[in-house]
Amino acid sequence: MAPVSTARLGRLAPPLALVVIWLVMTLINPRFLSAVNLTNLMLQIVAVGAVAVAVVLVLLIGEIDLSVGAVSGLGAGVTAVLSVKQDWPAVLAIIAGLLTGALVGLLHATIVTRVGVASFVVTLAGLLTWQGALQLVLGETGTVNLDDPQLVAIAGTFLSPALGWLIAAVITAAAVAAVVVHLRADRPRRVWPWVLAGTVAPVAVLVFNADRGVPLAVVVFLLLLAGGDVVMRRTTLGRHAVATGSNASGARRAGIAVDRIRMTVFALASVLAVTGGILAASRLLAVNQSSGSTDLMLTAVAAAAIGGASLFGGRGTVWSALLGALVVGSLANGLDLLGASSAIRLIATGVVLALAVGLDTVAHRAERQPFTEHSRPGR
């Protein structure tokens, strides 16, 4: 097989896997495709999805962050305690939680860049440390129930049908405009992402409106993704992050302050992780000791990898987080509907992860073998 098509297969596999899972789940239990269940599915994945975005960013610069789960719990814990026990207004409590994340990320990155310890180890130590810190923050009872109406509203709010349609209309209009501009440009550009966004948006709103409406948490998650995508593809920060993950010494010789990029990305990732933690807390109506669980980290890392973020660094987009979270979430949701045990869910997720990472490895190897007349593979 030509390496080019192997590489392409690597990129097409995650969306294909999602389609297959949805087909199979629907065939076995048509309720999977109901508006209620799809809305629930989206509500289930936003927290993991936000944490997966954090993982994608760190993978892009060629590092790993095993502390994202613990940090998301710690940040949410800080927010919850300040809101409930100190009566801080919701916005300030959230900002304090996010700042906690930023500081933790900067601390990790400082140890990675200044001392030179591998991020794997630094963030493993972070995982333990911040889980302990969360227990300290939560105090004796080990759990803090949210009572602030605004904090609760983040995951509990559904937009009115009209507002939902307005959002869909804006997205579709923007997509049409983008497609027209791209097709008129003298050099061809990829239009399919816009075509996809323009068609999915109204369908999604149709489904959400058939249930309770578009969840605010989903809007927050999508804004996070869109913002992250713009930063990664349109700004020098994103370009330099990919360069760092692709070839750190080359990036340094190109004049890029590689360590500063690492600091920024680790801080950003921890802030995103806390965002996921706050989304989860708002849905749970509480922060407890299992908020920063390793399970969340493992699921997020799996989602990022399944969605197409390469463990070799430098490859992947923030949309990988959405795709991977959808795959993992759909598996869990569908198997739940079937009444399958958590053992089956773990095994299924594990198998999909192994397949995804296997494909990534094959695609990685294929990309390194340029297909030219001098090096045509074959016998």
Partner 1 sequence: MSVATHESGSPAQTTEPVLELTGIGKHFGAVQALAGVDFRVHPGEVVALVGDNGAGKSTLVKIMSGVYQADSGRMRVEGREVHVHSPSAAQSLGIATVFQDLALCDNLDVVGNLFLGSELGSNAWMDEVAMEKESWRLLRELGAKIPTVRIPVASLSGGQRQTVAIARSLVGSPKVVMLDEPTAALGVAQTAEVLNLVERLREQNLGVVLISHNMADVQAVADRIVVLRLGRNEAEFRTVDVTTEQLVAAITGASDNVVAERHARRVPPATETGEVEA
Residues found in the chain: 379
| Contact flag: residue 11 with partner 1 (CB under 8 A) | no
262 makes contact with partner 1 (CB under 8 A): no
CB of 148 to partner 1, least distance (A): 35
Q: By CB under 8 A, is residue 293 in contact with partner 1?
A: no
Report the run of H or E that residue 145 belongs to, with start and end: strand 143-145
Measured distance CA(210)–CA(39) in Å, rounded: 10
Helix (H, G, I), strand (E, B) or coil at 186: coil
Q: Is 48 in the site for partner 1 (CB under 8 A)?
A: no
Other beta carbons within 10 Å of 126: 25
Find the shortest distance in angstroms from Cβ 269 to partner 1. 18
Q: Which is nearer to partner 1, 141 or 375 (CB)?
A: 375
Q: Check if the beta carbon of residue 364 is closer than 8 Å to that of residue 308.
A: no
145 binds partner 1 (CB under 8 A): no
Please identify, using beta-carbon distances, which residue of 208 and 319 lies nearer to partner 1. Answer: 319
Q: What is the Cα–Cα distance from 273 to 101, expressed in whole angstroms?
A: 8
Q: CA torsion, points 253, 242, 75, 346, in degrees to nearest 10? A: -130
Binding letters toward partner 1, positions 177-196, x by CB under 8 A = --------x-x---------
* Closer Cβ to partner 1, 252 or 345, answer by number: 252
Supply the minimum distance, in Å, between the C-beta of residue 365 and partner 1: 11
Cβ 376 to partner 1 shortest distance, Å? 11
Residues binding partner 1: what is the number (CB under 8 A)?
A: 32
CA angle 334, 336, 341 (to 5 degrees): 125
Number of neighbours of residue 89 by Cβ within 10 angstroms: 12
Decide whether 249 or 341 has the Cβ nearer to partner 1: 249
Q: Does 342 bind partner 1 (CB under 8 A)?
A: no
Token couple for 337 = 């509907």
What would the x/- binding string for partner 1 be over residues 215 to 244, using CB under 8 A? -------------------xxxx-xx-xx-
Pattern 300-329, binding to partner 1, x per CB under 8 A? --------------xx--------------
Span near partner 1 by CB under 8 A; candidates 50-58, 89-97, 338-346, 369-377: 369-377
CB-nearer residue toward partner 1: 251 or 304: 251
Q: How many CB atoms lie within 10 A of CB 280?
A: 24
- Cβ-based nearer residue to partner 1, 110 or 247: 247
Neighbouring C-beta atoms of residue 177, cutoff 10 Å = 12
Residues 6+ apart with CB under 8 A from 9: 359, 363
CA–CA–CA angle 118, 57, 120 (5° rounding) = 20
Write down the least CB distance from residue 314 to partner 1, Å.
4
37: its two tokens:
């269940």
How far does the chain reach from its first CA to its final CA, in angstroms?
A: 12
Q: Are 56 and 301 in contact (CB under 8 A)?
A: no
Residue in 254, 338, 344, 354 binding partner 1, rule: CB under 8 A:
254
Residue ranges that bind partner 1, judged by CB under 8 A: 4, 7, 185, 187, 234-237, 239-240, 242-243, 245-247, 249-256, 314-315, 367-368, 370-372, 374-375
